[in-house]
A and B are shown apart, each in its own frame.
Chain A
Amino acid sequence: MSFVRPGPVTLKGIIFWTLLGTVAVALAGILALGTGPTPLAWKGVLGEILGVGLPGWSLDSTERSILLEIRLPRVLLTGIVGMGLAVSGVVLQSLLRNPLAEPFVLGISSGAALGALSSMALATGFLSLTTPLAAFLGAMGTMALVLGIAGGMGRLEMTRVLLTGVIVNAFFTSLIMLVLSLSRAEQLHSMMFWLYGDLSGAKYSQAGIVGPWALGALVILWSQARSLNLLGLGERTALQLGVQVERSKFLLLIVTALLTGLVVSVSGLIGFVGLIVPHLMRMLLGPDHRLLLPMGALGGAVFLILADVLARTLMSPAEVPVGVITAALGAPFFILLLRTRGARWNPS
């Protein structure tokens, strides 16, 4: 395929791009910390973050609590969620050899949604779990179901996994509608926010729980970068080149599902990040997963942090679900890029 391909990936290249990406995340993060419905002085924000003890570079106690107790956990969590979604997208698109694959396609997110919404609907009942926990259990249960159905027939064939995921997704979507239609009117609003992604409740404790696991998942996925590259050449070729194909596929799927379930449980359903960011990075950097995985992570973090800034400032003081922003801005931007770059799907 005559895709405009950047040069071969070198260690130097990986380091260079990763540093650049980290700087981008840091800049997006600082921008996000400094913007919101309440204006905070930039000098004060920078002073608090960098720990500069100069006069005029500090905030009063209310401002500090807004910055440190509301915005900072939110920015951290948003970055982690964006990272998780984008990385899951990179892996699933390559593994399933489908340009439309993203975490949602396997039904993981509708499983999470079903869990979360049920827990909201039963909030006062004896079955009530906290929403994130219910979402996570829903996601993991769905993944087990999909792999069980698709893998029950022997070898884990990717087309079958994909198809099973799509069907389970459709089935769960109808159950979600059922739960919504039976819910009390007062709850519908928070359910809707959850379905379109809501990071407003971010806490340090969530970032603290999800962050290390997400990083761990990223490291495991990264360690499989070479296998992913070779799998892209076809399973038989990969096998001949020494990849333990079945084991590798299984590991990649499980870790990706875990990662998705984890981030969806704290953010709700945020579409498009897992779809757009991987393609964006592939256009920019080529298909080598050794570079694509870390850059997907950083790119996803930047994308979602910026989208969340818009979500909470666009209609301030009202807040827009962040999933609305990612889709409404991501889609036109992506189409523009597709037209100017003339990119083609090329997973390997």
Chain B
Amino acid sequence: MLGSSAKAAILGLIFTFLSTAEPVYGFSLELRDEAGRRVQISMLPRRIVALAPSITECLFALGLDQEVVGVTEHTNFPPQAASRPKVGSYVHLQLEAIVALKPDLVLATRDGNPREQIRRLEELGLTVFVLDPRSLEGLFSTLLSLGELFGRREEAADLVSRMREKMEGVRQRIGTRPRPRVLLQVGAQPLVVAGSDTLQDHLIGLAGGENVASSLGRGYLMLSWERVMTLAPQVIIISSMADTRAAEGEKKRWKRWKDIPAVKNGRIHVMDGDLIDRPSPRIIEGLEKMALIIHPELWAEVGSRN
């Protein structure tokens, strides 16, 4: 039915696509996601639902603020992301709300989002790409794959190199200083701390500390007060779960244990949980703050540099 000029135009269009050096988004792209599954992306995604606050932060950092059409509860950064339609909390999703947003792509996290619900979303015909950053390096590669996925390679590369630069800056400043023994509390009652193979564990290492809980097991661990005594941390960092007042109360609770070096020396600190619990670009800020908490002597150098 097409006229010959239209045909020629279309052919021309196809050829321009084929001749560009960059791979062409808008055609089929097959990527392996971070849960090891092959995901077929048939078009450049324009409507994205992000199933964790950290994912939303990554997308906004890549300049994809128009594309994010749905976010989860507790999404609070950047502020304009908080007003996007909510699709339930990331540990319990509202499938219906997600489908209603007609997303081209759903970005999920491997550990937080319930597997059953993710499977269900796929059965409903949605494309789900799973992310699983557990360290800064992991976050960098996540950001790069997001760049690939959304045709924002340069932005992603830029962002990652800026983050890497800051990370290296911290690493250099720390150098071979002695590593204080650090305990990072993520939950209060019961006491839950970050063990090995957690984001926080990596942060502690990069910030020049030694995670005292890393030898106890991987993931987030419940700990008895008795055990904490024997671990004798020199620095205690309390991750505030959005509620700073509760965290300050937590700080007081530690005061009972005078025998713990961190308590004796008054080295109990509260940190904004959003900066150290979320694999998002802001984590670099968390890293820098943590480095200053673990190595307060760095303050002088920071001051003298500015």
Contact = CB atoms under 8 A, between A and B. Distances in A.
Interface in A237-253: none
Contacts of B114: 190
B87 A317 contact: yes
Interface stretch (A61-69, A133-141, A267-275, A339-347): A61-69
B96 A38 contact: yes
A319 B92 contact: yes
B261 interface: no
Given A37-B96, A184-B220, A185-B187, A318 B124 contact: no
Contacts of B91: 186, 189-190
Interface in A61-111: 62-63, 65-66, 69-71
A6 interface: no
B120 A201 contact: yes
A190 B91 CA distance: 7
B99 A200 contact: no
A193 interface: yes
Interface residues of B, number: 30
Contacts of A318: 73, 86, 88-89, 92, 94
Interface SS of B by simple majority: mixed
Contacts of A193: 92
Interface string A191-210: 00100000011010000000
Please report whether the interface of chain A is mostly helix, strand, loop or mixed according to DSSP. helix
Interface residues of A, number: 27
B116 A38 contact: no
Nearest to A123: B115
A37 B101 CA distance: 11
Contact of A70 (B88, B115, B116, B124): B124
A70 B92 contact: no
A201 B99 contact: no
Interface in B88-122: 88-89, 91-92, 94-97, 99-100, 102, 111-112, 114-117, 120
Given A62-B99, A186-B219, 14 more contacts: A37-B97, A62-B102, A65-B124, A65-B125, A70-B124, A123-B115, A185-B187, A201-B116, A201-B117, A203-B120, A317-B87, A318-B86, A318-B92, A319-B88
The 6 closest A-B pairs by CB, nearest first: A38-B100, A189-B91, A317-B94, A185-B220, A37-B97, A317-B86
Interface of A: 36-38, 62-63, 65-66, 69-71, 123, 131, 181, 184-186, 189-190, 193, 200-201, 203, 312, 316-319
